[in-house]
Structure 1
Amino acid sequence: MKRLILLFLILLSCSAKDTLPDITVKDIDGKSVNLGSYKNQKLVLYIWSRTCAGHTKDLKKLGHLVKMYPNYKIVSYAVAMEAGDVVESYRQLGIAPNFLTLIDTAVKFNDYFPITFLPSTYVFDKGGKLIASYAGLPDKL
């Protein structure tokens, strides 16, 4: 019986690590957003920070992904930054985002999906299951 319980706990912890986490972050306007609320749609999370190399060109390409993949929710997911830093980054890059921007100041996402590279891209299916991850932003999904 103990082995069965242990096996169940291991399976439960593994399955929790491959689905979109229910964490609350802020959007660029300061409104609370639960990341798990996007489990009902295909989702692309582009995770970046102002200090990571490569985010400049990738952020400029995000708007094109919105047009190329209208069946996906494209999200700019800034970590370890405040809203003002994100707005300033967009301003400096000349970006008027046509995509959702979420801000995870405490880097909560890392508790569920360890962020090995910045920037990184995580792709989730309509059920919220992780189907792909990339260092940087891929040219095609």
Structure 2
Amino acid sequence: MRRLFILLLLVLSCSSKDTLPDITVKDIEGREVKLSDYKGKKTVIYVWSRTCAGHTEDLKKLSRLVNEYPDYRIISYAVAMDIKDVQQSYQQIGIKPNFITLIDPSVKFNDYFPITFLPSTYLFDSKGKLIASYAGLPEHL
């Protein structure tokens, strides 16, 4: 019994701080989704907020990345904003996104992956494990 308990503790301590977390956010249409639901395909998460420098051009590039990296799921992940803020930002930039947009007004993402720079980009493998992170949007993934 003790071995089972120790094994369970090891499994719990090694899990989920480096994988897509099971947090609930909203998509651009206001539907609730779990970030962990995006496991199963390599994923790029571009984290941004309206107040960060450089996000305008990066968001325009995300549409291009969808075509350049068809094996990846491209996600625009807006923090500290609500749906109307994100829609207004897209309208001001003049884009109609062909990528997934998720909104995290409470910045729950930061509890799992501390955001030290906005915008930032996080790459996950198909199992949802973090494989790299970058300040801004990298030129090459």
TM superposition score normalised by structure 1: 0.91
Note the residue ranges of structure 2 that are not aligned, 5 or more in a row.
none
Q: Per-residue deviation at 1:140? A: 1.1
Structure 1 unaligned spans of 5+: none
Residue number in structure 1 paired with 2:129 = 129
How much has 1:16 moved relative to structure 2? 2.1
What is the correspondence of 1:4-83 to structure 2 with a 5 Å cutoff? Answer: 5=6, 9=9, 12-83=12-83
**2-structure distance, mates of 1:14, 1:78:** 28
Q: Secondary structure at the match of 2:97?
A: coil
Take 1:13 and 1:136, find their aligned partners in 2: how far apart are those partners?
Answer: 30
Give the drift of 1:12.
Answer: 3.5
4+ residue runs of structure 1 moved beyond 4 angstroms?
7-11
Mapped partners of 1:109, 1:74: distance in 2: 16
Residues 96-128 of structure 1: CA distance to partner in whole angstroms, max 9, x if unpaired? 100010000111111101111100000000001
**What is the number of residues matched between the two proteins?**
139
Identity %: 70
Once residues 68 and 21 of structure 2 are traced to their aligned partners in structure 1, the CA distance between those partners, rounded to angstroms, is: 26
Calculate the TM-score normalised by the size of structure 2: 0.91
